[in-house]
Amino acid sequence: MSNPVGIFLIVVGVIFDLLGCLGLIRLPDVYNRLQAATKSVTLGTCMILFGVFLEFGFTSGGIKALICIFFVLLTSPTAAHALSRGSHISGFKLWEGSKMDQLEEDKGE
């Protein structure tokens, strides 16, 4: 715990993680929860890992943190896209206050 910039990034990342999990509880349907939780939790975890990289510097631990940032940024949006597409195809309804559904319009054409 030596680098103040690293500590600041870790603090902001933990707050982003907590707010994403709060969105997972509070929002009304699957797509809103996916929207809130996946983006902010991915950003928060990447900020924590970048803070870890700033703490370790260019040692073996810091390079491992950079590789982990790469994997999280690559895999998490792909998994969210697959989940939302799968649940839409499987027929789970949107919240009744939703304004538009572009995947349904594309299917109708």
Partner 1 sequence: MMTFFFILLIIGAFMCLYRIMMGPTPPDRMVAIDILGILVVGVCALYAVQTGEGFYLYIAIAWSILSFVGTLALAKFLEGKSFDE
Q: Determine how many CB atoms are found less than 10 A away from the CB of residue 44.
A: 21
Establish if 24 lies at the interface with partner 1 (CB under 8 A).
yes
Question: Which of 5, 8, 22, 57 touches partner 1 by CB under 8 A?
Answer: 22
Q: Closest distance between partner 1 and the C-beta of residue 17, in Å? A: 5
Under the binding rule (CB under 8 A), the answer on residue 64 touching partner 1 is: yes
Q: How many C-beta atoms surround the C-beta of residue 3 within 10 A?
A: 15
The three-state DSSP-derived secondary structure of the chain is CCCHHHHHHHHHHHHHHHHHHHHHHHCCCHHHHHHHHHHHHHHHHHHHHHHHHHHHCCCHHHHHHHHHHHHHHHHHHHHHHHHHHHHHHCCCCCCCCCCCCHHHHHHHC
Choose which of 4, 90, 96, 99 interacts with partner 1 (CB under 8 A). Answer: 90
Indicate whether 49 belongs to the interface with partner 1 (CB under 8 A).
Answer: yes
Residues that bind partner 1 (CB under 8 A): 1, 10-11, 13-15, 17-18, 20-22, 24-25, 30, 33-34, 37-38, 41-42, 44-45, 48-49, 51-52, 55-56, 59-62, 64-65, 67-68, 71-72, 75-76, 78-80, 82-83, 85-87, 89-90, 92
